[in-house]
Amino acid sequence: MKKFLFVCIENSNRSQMAQAFAKIHGGEEIEAYSAGSQPSGIVNPKAIKSMAELGYDLSTHESKSVDEIAEGPYEYVVTMGCGDECPWIPAKQHIDWDIPDPRNLEGAEFNEIRDMIESKVKDLLKSN
């Protein structure tokens, strides 16, 4: 079982959607987690709505800190825009995806970020 961790600042949008896509496309061989360097404590309703359009219930997720996640090591730790604020987490490989924070976007623009995340997760899973 390979463990993947997706980290962004608030753990309310990008990392939550990445975790969901890893679960959707990774099957039984993947354990996917997400966390934030400064978690907001909520999953953005826009992210929940956007993922619901694809048939995934993101409302079951919780926004949490990197201090609350399962211990590593991870196969991959993927950061998304938290830069120097992300603590070091043991992993075989660290990757940084430069993905804009969609929290202030609406509708189609938000979904463009969602789709970008899905594409990157699929590519990462294919490389394993």
Annotated catalytic sites, by residue?
A: 8, 82, 86
Contacts of 80 (CB under 8 A, 6+ apart): 6, 7, 8, 14, 15, 18, 96, 97, 99, 117
DSSP letter at 11? S
